Structure 1
Amino acid sequence: MKAVRFGYVTAPVLGALWCFVIAVTVAVAMSFATGAPFRPTLLALPWGAVLGVAALFGRTVFSAAALAVALLGVLGLGPMASDAVGIIALAIGHGAVATFTALGLGKMTGELRMGALTRHEFEEAVIRFLTGFGYIFFTAIVVIPFYVMVMTSLKNQSALMANPLDFSLDLSRGWHLFDSYFELMTQYNFGSYLWTSFYISVLTVLITLAFAIPGAYAVARLRFRGQAMFSRSILLIYMVPMIVLALPIYIAFSMTGLRNTIFGIVMIYPVTTIPVALYMLQGYFRGLPSEVEEAGLMDGLSRLAVIWKITLPLSLPALASVSLYVFMIAWNEFLLAFMLLDDPSKFTLTRGIASLNSSEIPRQHLMAGSVIATVPIMLLFLGLERFMTKGLTAGSVKG
């Protein structure tokens, strides 16, 4: 592989870019945490270049350079600046910049050297930088709104009126930090909304599986006229936006008396979840060895007995992933609930949150309701993620 002279510029350029990325990230984090206007400065570029070069000369020189950047930052010559902030916060901020810049550069430039580099070494360093940048960027997109939501829910009305952009936490309030959550449960009937969303989501999962399992098995195993076309057209319903169907659904449910009823919601939700469940399960069923089912048929089992005793036990990972996915869809659904439910006693969680979006209700209550709706489904997903991943990939390779 031909060597190219990227060594003299690769480390300082990556160091400058990486230090600036870390400085921006830490400045945003410190601003949210302290309420002080932390901001990155252009000094992050030369200091990052210095750290990038120092990374080529071993850990001792690298560590000394990182410590120097942290100390100079406290003196006002670092990669971040802030007005009217204490020396402790400034030291923490620049220490975090130096530490995370050093950790990142240690990964990116660990195998680089001065002089000629192979193209493989250069490309690997650039890919590592882009990977780290992508992790930080997309994590910030997810974390910052959630952080603002949580911090706002822990405020009181006077603090929000004084400075709506101050997201620091006043620990002196003690348990009164959670007043918004307590008031939601006692005054705004959010306990009922939680229970309604939970059993509607569970019923949606059960109904979806009841239709999707035999449908997916028929497409994957049985031979009938139009099978190929049906298999390819399962997801066609998603080509029609739900907002286009909103008015016909509203008119039909109003004429039949199903609007503003839990039964109507439970009946319409599976319409949106059965196609995707069919699509996911048919791929998994096709990946199961048909010889196992044929052996069951030869032993005298009926087709339904084969499905119940052989196919479904082998499909538990896929069933778990589909159930979790359908549950999340039903839990987070808003448009149909907003359109069909008017009685507060029948509100789902998302419909209840929409009712808090009023000038008469404090903003922290709306944020607390959003946290209540987000945290349970987030914990459920994180707890069962391995089952969902296993179910989605188990049928990808035919055995």
Structure 2
Amino acid sequence: MKALRFNWFTSPVLGALWMVVLSTTVAIIMSFATGDPFRPHILFSLLWGGVIGFAIGHRMGGRIGELIGGVALVALILLNFGPLTIGELASPFVAILAAVALAAAFVLSGRVILDDLVPGALTRHEFEGAVIRFLTGFGYIFFTAIVLIPFYVMVMTSFKNQSELMQNPLDFSIDIGKGAELFRSYNELFSQFNFGTYLFNSFFISVLTVFITLAFAIPGAYAVARLRFQGRAAFSRSILLIYMVPMIVLALPIYIAFSMTGLRNSFWGIVMIYPVTTIPVALYMLQGYFRGLPAEVEEAGLMDGLSRLAVIWKITLPLSLPALASVSLYVFMIAWNEFLLAFMLLDDPSKFTLTRGIAALNSSEIPRQHLMAGSVIATVPIMALFLGLERFMTKGLTAGSVKG
């Protein structure tokens, strides 16, 4: 592979860009954690990131050189000549912690990113590998921040009281010494705003939606995947056509129909309409999985005298447990997070789902921390469910494979 003269500027350029990424990340984390205004210094980030990146990429001093570079970076930050500007109200401990965190993160991660860069000529593979590692690290930090920062703000705000929010609405640190007082908003949601009923309604409706969806989707997907009938190909291709029509377009006809039939503001009306939105996607997911299962196993069951329904129950479904877990979780999440139909069809607070109850908190008369606490209550269960069932979705994906 042809060698390229990239090394002399590859390591300082990547080091400078990576320092900008890390200094911005540390500044955001420390600002949210302490409430003090930490700021990244872009010019110094480029300068010192390029210098230390050049040293790491060219193996100047080895591990001792990296240690010296890290210590020097900490000193520069504390002297206000580094890539991170520390808030004026920050304590010495917090300032040192921020400086050490940035220096350690840059030295350790920089060693990984610039690992393949050696003095002299680089191959294109080595150059592209370094760039890919830089982009991978940036992607992890960027997309993690997009997810975690709003969640962090939501959780921290839910622990505040009204006076704290009025005094400093941008301070997202908390006083752990308050103890049980931190959960005051959560207690008031359950004691004054009937959130226990909302949780039960959402859970019950979501579970019913999963069972109804699977009851229709399993035989439908199996028929599309295994049986031969007229219009099979057209039906298979048109399963997801319903998603081409925005739900906001269907909402008004659904509202009128449910009002005329007396199903509006009805618990069972919601249970009837939710599967309509989930069955198509469940059909699409399951029929693709059923096609991937070996037909020979089912044919062997038929030859042994099993009926078609017995084959589905005893052979196909056990082999499809990973797919069923994925579909069930996906359908549960759709039903749990659905808002538009619940907002339009439910007016009785005793029948509110969790999303409908949270919408009722969006009022100038209700403190903002209650809205944030309600959002946490709606988010945490579905996160725990996903993390708990994740291993079941990847388990047994190769089950039922045919040897030979």
What residue is the counterpart of 1:47 in the other structure?
A: 48
CA distance in structure 1 between the aligned counterparts of 2:318 and 2:394, rounded to whole angstroms: 18
Alignment of 1:201-350 (within 5 A): 201-350=206-355
CA distance in structure 1 between the aligned counterparts of 2:208 and 2:124, rounded to whole angstroms: 56
What residue is the counterpart of 2:140 in the other structure?
A: 135
What residue is the counterpart of 2:68 in the other structure?
A: 64
CA distance in structure 1 between the aligned counterparts of 2:301 and 2:314, rounded to whole angstroms: 9
Offset of residue 84 of structure 1: 3.0
Which of the numbers 58, 75, 83 marks the counterpart of 1:79?
Answer: 83
Offset of residue 390 of structure 1: 5.0
Offset of residue 380 of structure 1: 0.7
What residue is the counterpart of 2:4 in the other structure?
A: 4
Deviations 1:205-248 (A, max 9, x none): 00000000000000000000000010011011111100000000
Q: Does 1:15 align with 2:9?
A: no
Letter of the aligned partner of 1:149 in structure 2? M
| Residues 6 and 122 in structure 1, CA contact (< 8 A), matched pair in contact too | yes
CA distance in structure 1 between the aligned counterparts of 2:222 and 2:263, rounded to whole angstroms: 32
CA distance in structure 2 between the aligned counterparts of 1:132 and 1:262, rounded to whole angstroms: 47
CA distance in structure 2 between the aligned counterparts of 1:23 and 1:95, rounded to whole angstroms: 12
Letter of the aligned partner of 2:29 in structure 1? A
Letter of the aligned partner of 1:114 in structure 2? P
Deviations 1:30-66 (A, max 9, x none): 1111111100002111111122122132222112101
Using the TM superposition, name which of 191-200 and 297-306 deviates more. Answer: 297-306
Letter of the aligned partner of 2:54 in structure 1? V
| Residues 24 and 39 in structure 1, CA contact (< 8 A), matched pair in contact too | yes
Offset of residue 325 of structure 1: 0.8
* 1:112 counterpart SS class: coil
CA distance in structure 2 between the aligned counterparts of 1:33 and 1:112, rounded to whole angstroms: 36
Offset of residue 129 of structure 1: 0.2
Deviations 1:337-392 (A, max 9, x none): 0010000000000000000000000000000000000001001111212323458x
RMSD (CA atoms): 1.4
Using the TM superposition, name which of 60-69 and 140-149 deviates more. Answer: 60-69
What residue is the counterpart of 1:28 in the other structure?
A: 28
Deviations 1:303-350 (A, max 9, x none): 111111111111111111111111111111111100100000000000
What residue is the counterpart of 1:93 in the other structure?
A: 98
Using the TM superposition, name which of 77-86 and 366-375 deviates more. Answer: 77-86
Letter of the aligned partner of 1:60 in structure 2? I
Q: Kindly tell me: are residues 398 and 147 of structure 1, through their superposed partners in 2, closer, same or farther at Cα, counting changes over 3 Å?
A: farther
Q: Does 1:107 align with 2:112?
A: yes
What residue is the counterpart of 1:121 in the other structure?
A: 126
Which of the numbers 171, 188, 207 marks the counterpart of 1:183?
Answer: 188
Using the TM superposition, name which of 156-165 and 288-297 deviates more. Answer: 288-297
* 2:229 counterpart SS class: coil
* 1:76 counterpart SS class: coil
* TM-score, normalised with respect to structure 2: 0.96
Letter of the aligned partner of 1:53 in structure 2? F
Letter of the aligned partner of 1:75 in structure 2? L
| Residues 216 and 281 in structure 1, CA contact (< 8 A), matched pair in contact too | yes
Q: Kindly tell me: are residues 364 and 394 of structure 1, through their superposed partners in 2, closer, same or farther at Cα, counting changes over 3 Å?
A: farther
| Residues 190 and 352 in structure 1, CA contact (< 8 A), matched pair in contact too | yes
Unmatched tracts of structure 1, length 5 or more: none
Using the TM superposition, name which of 198-207 and 93-102 deviates more. Answer: 93-102
Letter of the aligned partner of 1:219 in structure 2? V
| Residues 318 and 390 in structure 1, CA contact (< 8 A), matched pair in contact too | no
CA distance in structure 2 between the aligned counterparts of 1:273 and 1:213, rounded to whole angstroms: 13
Offset of residue 295 of structure 1: 1.1
Using the TM superposition, name which of 13-22 and 101-110 deviates more. Answer: 101-110
CA distance in structure 2 between the aligned counterparts of 1:303 and 1:257, rounded to whole angstroms: 40
Residues matched between the structures, number: 397
CA distance in structure 1 between the aligned counterparts of 2:53 and 2:194, rounded to whole angstroms: 57
Unmatched tracts of structure 2, length 5 or more: none
Q: Kindly tell me: are residues 269 and 191 of structure 1, through their superposed partners in 2, closer, same or farther at Cα, counting changes over 3 Å?
A: same
| Residues 18 and 104 in structure 1, CA contact (< 8 A), matched pair in contact too | no
* 1:43 counterpart SS class: helix
Using the TM superposition, name which of 340-349 and 104-113 deviates more. Answer: 104-113
Using the TM superposition, name which of 99-108 and 155-164 deviates more. Answer: 99-108
| Residues 287 and 398 in structure 1, CA contact (< 8 A), matched pair in contact too | no
Offset of residue 175 of structure 1: 1.1
Percent of aligned pairs with the same amino acid: 74
